[in-house]
Every structure is written in C-alpha cells, then in structure tokens.
Amino acid sequence: MQDIIRLLPESIANQIAAGEVVQRPASVVKELLENAVDAQSTAIQLIIKNAGKTHIQVVDNGIGMSETDARMCFERHATSKIKQTDDLFRIQTMGFRGEALASIAAVAEVELKTKRQEDTLGTYIAIEGSKLRTQEGISAIKGTSFVVKNLFYNIPARKNFLKSNQVELKHIYDEFIKIALSHPEIEFICYQDDQETYHLEKTKLSQRIIDLFGKNYRQNLIPCQEESSLLHLKGYIGKPQVAKKTRGEQFFFINQRFVKYNYLHYALMQAYDKLLPADTFPFYVLFLEVDPKTIDVNVHPQKIEVKLEDERAIFAMLESAIKRTLSTHHLSPSLDFETDANYHLPIEQRKEGEQKFKLNLNRENQREKSNLLNWKSIYDNLSQKAIQQEHFKTDEIENLFIYSKINQPQNENETINTHKQWFKQIFQQYIITPMPSGLVIIDQEAAHQRILYEQLRKQYHSTTLTLQTLLFPVKITFNANDWLLFLEIEKEIRNLGFIFEVLEKEKAIMLQTMPANLAPEHEEKQYFEQMIEQFKNSVNTLNIDRQDVWLYAMAKKAAIKNGKILQEDEMKALTEQLFASSNPNYTPEGRVICMVMNAAKMSQLFQE
C-alpha cells in the first residue's frame, strides 16, 4: 500500500493559514494599521475603495524597510518582533507571529513601496497569490505603503460570503477606531472612495474620544486613574446618562492592545451597579498596563483574547477604581435614571397644569368598540398557549395566557360583568386589577409599547400618519458607523413620515418634519439619536420586517416608562387598549406584558 500523507504545496498551506488571519477586508486593515504603528509612525493614512473589496492602502511615515526586509516580510513566520522563546513572554508590539503579510499575499494582489531614511532608493515589490511578480528599486519617500487589491480573487467562495458594502465598512471603521483610540499621539486620516471620512490630529486621549464619538461626550467623560505595583490604569468612563442599549462603545486596552475580556467587563458593570438604566451599557475607554510577563497574548488568531496571570486581583482593583471614580464625581448608587421626576411626590402634590400622558381612545371600527365594551370577558377562557403574531425567542414561563378578541365577532347575547372594577398601581411599574378569573398584573411600560406599536403600524399601513413640521429645522450629525446604518435604512425612515435634507459631506441630516407627538419640543435631536440606538439594539434580535423594527423602536422610545405615576382613568385606558390589541401577552421582542394570578396559583405560592 502506498503512503498517503504528503506535504501540502506552499500555496495551499498559505491559503489555509490565511483563513484564520484574513476573514474580511477589516482583517487586512487591522494587520496593516498595526504594522504601521509598530513602525514608529507619527502619521498614518488609510485609503479604501468599494468597502475594501477591491482596494485597501495603508501609508505611513515610519522607519521603512531595507530591500532584504521588504522581500522577507512576505515569508511565513518571518518577523522582526521576536528572536527567541523568551521574547514571547515580554511582547510589547502589536504583531509578532509573522503570519499576517504572508496570509494577505496568499489571497490578494499586494504592492509594497518602502524606504528607510538612510537609503538612497526605496524598494517596490508586487506579489500575487504568494508569487513574486516584481521587485525593483524606486524613488520613494521615507516610510511604507501597502496596497492590497482584489481581496479573495483566487478564493471565490470566500469572496461570495462577504456582506454588503455598509456592513464591511462598519467592520473596517471598528478596527480603525480601535487603533486610533489606542494611539492618540499618531495622526490618522481615512478615505473611503476618495472622500475623507476621518481626519484625526495628534492630540490627547479625551480629544481623540470626542473626535471619534461626537461632541456630546465632552461633558460626559470622567477621567479614571489607578496605579499599583500590579496594574497601571488610566482612561475615561462615561456618565450613566450616556449609557446605550448596545455594546459597541466599550474598549479595554491591555498594554495598548485592544482585547475582549468579559471578566473585566463584568467587574466594570459591578462598579456601575444600580447606576444604569435597565439593559444598558456604559461607555468606557480604559488602558491597563501590566508586566508583559504576566500576560499571554498568543491565545487567539486575531490576538483579541488574552490571559492574565493575576486576573482576580486585577478584577478587584478595576472594580474598586471605577467605584471610587464614580463616587468622587458625586454619582450615588441610588440614582435611577428611568424614574419619573414625580416619583416621590404624592399625586395631589403635582404642579397645577401638569399634563398627564394621554391614551387615544378613538377607535376606527365598530368591532373594536364592541371589544372595548366587553374586554372584561376576555378572562373567561384562559389558555396555556399565547397568540403570537411576531416570532421571538423567550424562555418558557409558568404563566396563564390571555387571548385577544380583536378579530373575533362579539356574541350579542353575551352579558357584561357588572362587578365593581378598580385599578391600583404598585412600585410605579405594575397595574393590578381584579377579574372573575383572578388578579391581572400588567407591566405598564411593556403594555404601552404594544399599544403604540400597533397604532403606529396601523397608521403606517393605512397612510394616515399625522405629521408635524418643526418650527426650526434640526441638524443631526452621525459618527461614521451610525451614518452607514442611517444610509442603509434611509428609505424606511422617509416612509414613516420623517422629512429631512441629507448633508453627505457632514454625515448629517437637517430634520424638517416628523410624525406628530413623538418627541417633546426642542428634544427632536435626542429623540432621533435614541431611535437609531433602539433600532441597532433590536434589528438583530427581532424576526420581523425591518420596517416594523423601526416602528417598534419608535414605540419603545415614546412609551411611558416604569416609575411614572398614573391616575385611575389612565390605568383604565391603558388596560382597555392593551386588550383591544392583537397580542396583549407579549411585546414584539418577547417581553411579558401581563399575567393572571388566580386562586390556585396563590394557594400554591402560600403552600411553598
């Protein structure tokens, strides 16, 4: 029998290795930017075309390479960063494995121009699919320029798996932002399709954060610093009021390398305990400096995961430092940013003329009017299975479900239960009302979200959405990532009645008209920004049309919040409209709205 184990050809081995290092255009951007930083550059340019699919170029003014080094850098496991085994345990550069350039050259067409300060001529190299095409001396300036063209040209299957330009651009900007944040002492410029998208001057960290994420962070950054023999910590954390629903603006750098470290993130969240609104994440950009001997960065192909020798001690120090920082800025753990301003005031002490929230009781057809009159009878038939028009994931809940009768004809012979109905609010969050089948407990915020979502959806599909023109147009500026998202959903936003002028060069819009009664006067900008944030939080978790995701984001933003004190007539109106909806049990994202506590359930609780 013949032997069957053979050495793979170098071209195939390089493509296999490239699969771990180069997953998309953003992977190339990351590796080239890190090399430019390691080259002691003070100015770096990133030029991308067609979302990096056809052209990626990184130009730096670093130390450059000799003719021999320029050729050697494309060999597998060729690196200037380490020379012996011990060097692996004191790595202080971004790269060290010597795999990135070889992997990129295996799946793309690469051109390199480089020159050292002391050399008369520079070097030009062209490589295609790991094969050297050209090497010659050229006239060049000090530094290095890498051009990567036609990524995955020789691996069509991988190329076909790339996402839309907006998605790939978002990943590229994510990598660019991480590198730019970790090196504010370096000037960064980014061009996309010949348009300048970022121009970041050399500056300090706080200004770099503002340049990247917006001027609204200027008043919301808190400096954080801690020093010990084990850990040096510095950076900024955000005030609780700028916390967002999505995890995207949390950055840990260990020895200036961006890392994902859930254990440390948990320590920070513990420090923010009781300060944040529910389901939100704080902003932070934190730099941890530790002894290189106590950290292992060689545990992930993309080097974004690390292991720390003393992670428990670092956990405790990080949590303590964040808590101390928050306390010195007079942020008490008892603050509740979801609570209404009247939370502690008895109802009779409200200011004269204060408006209560209004629920629209105008119905459009006789069937719904009849349903409102008979909503108490909904409880007569309970089921263990909810009617769910939307598809969502939720844990199995021990609960009694309520059928909506919105589309069921009413029986003229049905009688209305005439026992006295009352409504009570507890914890400024739940509404309790008695029914023949037991006590009904309703989450007021979730209920209002369901009501507003169905009202907006009905108005949208019937083209009867009421609009209001702003007295003065409002300018709303986006960061690069949010701008890409906005362009992707611009059509849906316009279809909902938002009228605006697009200012392409400024990555901004001038908002002129929006659906009526959604945002208080002079708060349209904050409302629109939070709508984008709500959409980002929901678009990947809700299995409904993107148009409906936007409608639900509008409903979530406009709904009354837990902590709002309600009068009895308000609770009654809320309850009536909830059970006139198509699904009174769940919000579109699967959050439970109400449950019934019957005699059997109460007996079970008391016997436990």
Please state the pTM of the whole predicted model: 0.65
pLDDT band at 49 (very low <50, low <70, confident <90, very high): very high
Report the pLDDT averaged over residues 71-94.
64
| Per-residue pLDDT, 112 | 96
pLDDT one-digit tens code per residue, 129-185: 888 999 999 999 999 999 999 999 988 888 888 888 888 998 999 999 999 999 999
The region of weakest confidence among 352-356, 416-420, 452-456 is 352-356
Whether residue 246 contacts residue 537, with contact meaning beta carbons closer than 8 Å, is answered with yes
Provide the CATH number for the domain formed by 212-328 in this structure. 3.30.230.10
Whether residue 285 contacts residue 251, with contact meaning beta carbons closer than 8 Å, is answered with yes
Whether residue 430 contacts residue 416, with contact meaning beta carbons closer than 8 Å, is answered with no
Give every CB contact of residue 195 below 8 A, 6+ residues apart in sequence. 505
| Per-residue pLDDT, 398 | 38
pLDDT band at 418 (very low <50, low <70, confident <90, very high): very low
528 or 267, higher pLDDT: 267
| Per-residue pLDDT, 519 | 65
Whether residue 392 contacts residue 589, with contact meaning beta carbons closer than 8 Å, is answered with yes
| Per-residue pLDDT, 527 | 75
Whether residue 210 contacts residue 218, with contact meaning beta carbons closer than 8 Å, is answered with yes
Report d(CA 170, CA 425) in Å as an integer: 45
Closest CA to 284 of 271, 294, 300, 297: 271
Report d(CA 390, CA 608) in Å as an integer: 35
| Per-residue pLDDT, 26 | 93
| Per-residue pLDDT, 438 | 81
**What is the percent of the chain where pLDDT is above 90?**
28
Give every CB contact of residue 5 below 8 A, 6+ residues apart in sequence. none
| Per-residue pLDDT, 301 | 56
pLDDT one-digit tens code per residue, 429-438: 899 988 777 8
Q: Which CATH architecture has domain 10-202?
A: 2-Layer Sandwich (3.30)
Q: Which two tokens stand for residue 333?
A: 């753990």
Q: Where are the alpha helices (DSSP H) in 8-90?
A: 10-21, 25-38, 67-72
Work out the angle between the directed axes of helices 165-182 and 480-495 (0-180°, nearest 10). 150
The average confidence (pLDDT) of the chain is 78
| Per-residue pLDDT, 81 | 56
Closest CA to 459 of 527, 338, 360: 360
Closest CA to 71 of 102, 38, 34, 45: 102
Is the pLDDT assigned to residue 477 strictly greater than 90? no
Give every CB contact of residue 529 below 8 A, 6+ residues apart in sequence. 476
CA distances 38 to 203, 232, 268, 406, 591, Å, are: 19, 22, 30, 65, 48
Q: Which two tokens stand for residue 556?
A: 């979530």
> What is the CATH T-level fold of the domain 465-558, as seen in this structure?
Ribosomal Protein S8; Chain: A, domain 1 (3.30.1370)
| Per-residue pLDDT, 281 | 87
Is the pLDDT assigned to residue 245 strictly greater than 80? no
| Per-residue pLDDT, 75 | 84
What is residue 143's three-state secondary structure?
strand
Closest CA to 339 of 261, 241, 251, 441: 241
Closest CA to 465 of 528, 513, 523: 513
Whether 359-450+563-607 and 10-202 are alike in CATH topology: the answer is no
pLDDT one-digit tens code per residue, 328-361: 876 644 333 333 333 232 333 333 333 333 444 3
| Per-residue pLDDT, 1 | 67
pLDDT band at 86 (very low <50, low <70, confident <90, very high): low
CA 200 from chain centre, in angstroms, equals 23
Give every CB contact of residue 118 below 8 A, 6+ residues apart in sequence. none
Is the pLDDT assigned to residue 265 strictly greater than 50? yes
Residue boundaries of the structural domains of the chain: 10-202, 212-328, 359-450+563-607, 465-558
Q: Which two tokens stand for residue 232?
A: 């040096």
Report d(CA 224, CA 234) in Å as an integer: 5
Q: Which CATH architecture has domain 359-450+563-607?
A: 2-Layer Sandwich (3.30)
Report d(CA 564, CA 595) in Å as an integer: 20
Report d(CA 275, CA 23) in Å as an integer: 38
Q: Which residues lie across from 234 on neighbouring strands?
A: 225, 287
| Per-residue pLDDT, 343 | 29
Q: What is the 3-state secondary structure (H, E, C) of 393-434?
A: CCCCCCCCEECCCCCCCCCCCCCCCCCCCCCEEECCCEEEEE
Q: How far apart are the first and last CA of the chain?
A: 71
| Per-residue pLDDT, 125 | 96
pLDDT band at 286 (very low <50, low <70, confident <90, very high): very high
398 or 85, higher pLDDT: 85
| Per-residue pLDDT, 70 | 92
